[in-house]
Amino acid sequence: MTTEQNKKPKFNKNTFFRVIRLLFKYYPVLVPLTALCIVFSAAVSSIPSLFVQRVLQAVDTALKTGDLNWDTIKTSIFPTVLLLACLYVLSVIFITLHTQLMAYITQGFLCKLRRGMFEHMQDLPIRFFDTNKHGDIMSYYTNDIDALRQLVSQSLPQLLQSAVIVLTVFFIMLWFSVWMTLIILVGVSAMILVSRKIGGGSSKYFVRRQISIGKTEAFVQEMMNGQRVIKVFCHEEAAINDFDKINEVLYDDTFKANAYANSLGPIINNIGNVLYVLCATASGVFLISGISNVSISGLAFSISILVPFLNMTKQFTGNLNNLTQQMNAIIMGLAGAQRVFSLMDEEPERDDGYVSLVNCTVDENGNILESEKQTGKWAWRHPHGDGSVTYTPLQGDVRLFDVDFGYEEGKTVLHGVSVYAEPGQKVAFVGATGAGKTTITNLINRFYDIADGKIRYDGININKIKKSDLRRSLGIVLQDTNLFTGTVMENIRYGRLDATDEECMQAAKLAGADDFITRLPEGYMTELNSNGANLSQGQRQLIAIARAAVANPPVMILDEATSSIDTRTEAIVQRGMDKLMEGRTVFVIAHRLSTIMNSDVIMVLDHGRIIERGSHEKLLSDKGVYYQLYTGVFELE
């Protein structure tokens, strides 16, 4: 069992009040209005005993005096009954208004919350997604949001309603009889003790249940994504066994949570029944013995007090039981809310950059002028402390100086890496898996920040460049292709949202994708789903290359871009890639050495260090590691 599951569950008042603050923030008028409707309807349902007492008292007085007739009913009883009926009609109106407002507030609140979560998620660093299971992240949007829905739409209104009824009835009972109210308080003490004992166990397992559901959903998504691997290696039985273990934990937590919660209600109800009998017995003793009644109202203890008091006893204990039940539901809802807020409180990706990428023109004197229009030329806008601004042409000069980096503190992955890529150069990285090739490109993108050293882009420290502008100037094609639900055209346009259809088609032709796209059922308008499952791996990769091409960036990063393409398709792609790379600085990561032979410089990495660098011919003549790789003395893996 995890540490998180072992944490002692409790009513988290900070999370509770944060939910309340958000409700008032989103609906500053509707929330108080809804609360007013709930309070009014709850108060109306609490006061019938006052009217019953008045009616019984009037009847009792009339019987003793012999004046029970139609006039007595009209003057003493009918107005009381009419007033109560009017209050009930108003209560029905208020209840209807409350239910409609609550539905509107709940769905609006969840809609705004999901939007806030998703917006914040876009600002989270890559590290967050690398260290959290995607299924568990999805659970925030499904299971935890649903727990919040129940909290806002059901638990909070019922909590307020029951609290108002309990308080109102308590003060009415005090108004009628202090002695009888003290008997009620003794029974309430027993209820509270039982609720704390049983309710504590229930809330503990409800919190564990929230965590277990997240783990189960994460496992199911992982298995869905890996179905091909599971079937290829005949791992179905092992996957089922692994799922059974996780599912068993979920079953155990859910069973115990419900077992505690389901036993609490009947126990509290029966304590209420016992309390009802005690009150009835005590009131009988008071009536027979003639014990003087102590009350705020000053009324003598009689049948007119006994009957409504016994009704209030049932009402009081019933709503007290509802309060204890709602506390369990609230703790479960707060467990979901706490997970949602934990996502929203995740530290966003820091960006201290102030150098931006702007469109520019160059006048006859060679001066760079900023432009608001698309010009096809770019420059780095560099403001200085004295108020001046300088412009540096975007050329694609990328240099790393003695860079050290580790994904975890104390575990260095790159050691003193230096790379010099001049504008238009093609730089290739080769080496075994885990040597640090992809890590270098992650650092250029600033998906992670270096521990030591410097990275300069066109002479500017990349820490000074705004991340969005830095990444806008970089095109990237990954080994694992991600296509989105939509048409082929929309997936290509993803590289630059303002690209025209003609530009997207030109990019596809450049990448060598136009031929197969035009043969699809709807051509460029063919719908893709499930990450392009209706396309071959090579076709998906060609679309990804076209997507990078339409962005027209000065720097390209090709991370195993042709590794999933067959030899024939590779030749087509390679021609497109050569056109795509013309005039650009290109970083290539490849296992197929045939794709990097024409690189300006090839760097061989081993355990995070560059052990060889040079052109293809130079490295062959050195007869070092690259020579051994090329001649097949040993494989990259």
Residue 402 has pLDDT above 70, yes or no: yes
Please report the beta strands in 298-444, taking only residues with DSSP state E, as ranges in sequence order.
356-362, 368-371, 378-383, 389-393, 398-405, 414-421, 426-431
Q: What is the pLDDT of residues 20-43, one digit of tens each?
A: 999 999 999 999 999 999 999 888
Cβ atoms of 463 and 449 within 8 Å: the answer is yes
Q: Does residue 351 lie in a domain region?
A: no
- Shared-domain flag, residues 414 and 332: no
Q: Does residue 434 lie in a domain region?
A: yes
Residue 192 has pLDDT above 80, yes or no: no
Residue 327 has pLDDT above 70, yes or no: yes
Closest C-alpha among 494, 514, 496, 515 to residue 506: 514
Please report the beta strands in 493-546, taking only residues with DSSP state E, as ranges in sequence order.
527-528
**Reported confidence tier of residue 82, pLDDT bands at 50, 70, 90:** confident
Q: What is the pLDDT of residues 152-179, one digit of tens each?
A: 998 899 999 988 988 888 888 888 777 7
Q: What is the pLDDT of residues 578-588, one digit of tens each?
A: 777 777 898 98
Question: CA distances (Å), 233 to each of 192, 221, 603, in order?
Answer: 56, 18, 36
Distance CA 361, CA 259 (A): 73
Q: Does residue 372 lie in a domain region?
A: yes
Q: Does residue 636 lie in a domain region?
A: no
Percentage, residues of the chain above pLDDT 90: 23
CATH of the domain at 436: 3.40.50.300
- Shared-domain flag, residues 173 and 56: yes
- Shared-domain flag, residues 325 and 458: no
Q: Does residue 6 lie in a domain region?
A: no
Lowest mean pLDDT segment, chosen from 313-322, 388-397, 478-487, 557-566: 557-566
SS percent in the chain: helix, strand, coil, step 5:
60, 15, 25
**Reported confidence tier of residue 512, pLDDT bands at 50, 70, 90:** confident
Question: CA distances (Å), 353 to each of 78, 387, 434, 470, 471, in order?
Answer: 78, 16, 30, 10, 12
Distance CA 318, CA 273 (A): 10
Distance CA 203, CA 335 (A): 9
**Reported confidence tier of residue 427, pLDDT bands at 50, 70, 90:** very high
Please provide the average confidence, as pLDDT, over all residues in the chain.
82
Q: Does residue 7 lie in a domain region?
A: no
Most confident option among 35-44, 192-201, 322-331, 536-545: 35-44
- Shared-domain flag, residues 368 and 479: no
| Radius of gyration, alpha carbons of the chain | 37
**Reported confidence tier of residue 48, pLDDT bands at 50, 70, 90:** confident
- Per the DSSP assignment, residues forming a β-bridge with 602 are 428, 614
Residue 633 has pLDDT above 60, yes or no: no
- Shared-domain flag, residues 339 and 389: no
Question: Residue range 532-542: average pLDDT?
Answer: 81
Lookup: tokens for 326: 């709602």
Question: Residue range 269-297: average pLDDT?
Answer: 71
CATH of the domain at 298: 1.20.1560.10
- Shared-domain flag, residues 304 and 381: no
* Residue range(s) defining the domain that contains residue 62: 13-344
> What pLDDT was estimated at residue 397?
92
Query: Does residue 336 or residue 571 have the better pLDDT?
Result: 336
Residue 55 has pLDDT above 80, yes or no: no
**Reported confidence tier of residue 70, pLDDT bands at 50, 70, 90:** low
603: left (phi over 0), alpha (psi -120 to 50) or beta: beta
Please report the beta strands in 441-551, taking only residues with DSSP state E, as ranges in sequence order.
452-457, 460-461, 474-477, 486-487, 527-528
Distance of CA 129 to the CA centre of its chain: 12
Cβ atoms of 340 and 144 within 8 Å: the answer is yes
> What pLDDT was estimated at residue 356?
93
Q: Does residue 310 lie in a domain region?
A: yes
Q: What is the pLDDT of residues 353-381, one digit of tens each?
A: 999 999 889 888 888 888 888 787 889 99
Percentage, residues of the chain above pLDDT 70: 84
- Shared-domain flag, residues 383 and 278: no
Cβ atoms of 85 and 55 within 8 Å: the answer is no
> What pLDDT was estimated at residue 415?
92
- Shared-domain flag, residues 146 and 204: yes
- Shared-domain flag, residues 78 and 150: yes
- Shared-domain flag, residues 158 and 120: yes
Cβ atoms of 406 and 451 within 8 Å: the answer is yes
Residue 461 has pLDDT above 90, yes or no: yes
Distance CA 138, CA 144 (A): 9
Lookup: tokens for 636: 């990259």
Query: Does residue 300 or residue 497 have the better pLDDT?
Result: 497
Query: Does residue 301 or residue 465 have the better pLDDT?
Result: 465
| Number of structural domains in the chain | 3
Q: Report pTM.
A: 0.74
Q: What is the pLDDT of residues 206-248, one digit of tens each?
A: 767 777 887 887 788 778 777 766 776 677 888 888 888 888 8
Q: Does residue 449 lie in a domain region?
A: yes
Distance CA 39, CA 167 (A): 11
Q: CB neighbours of 5 closer than 8 A, spacing ≥ 6?
A: 207, 208, 211, 212
Distance CA 17, CA 23 (A): 10
- Shared-domain flag, residues 320 and 421: no
> What pLDDT was estimated at residue 8?
40
- Shared-domain flag, residues 379 and 443: no
HEC letters along 368-396: EEEECCCCCCEEEEEECCCCCEEEEECCC
Query: Does residue 296 or residue 349 have the better pLDDT?
Result: 349
> What pLDDT was estimated at residue 6?
42
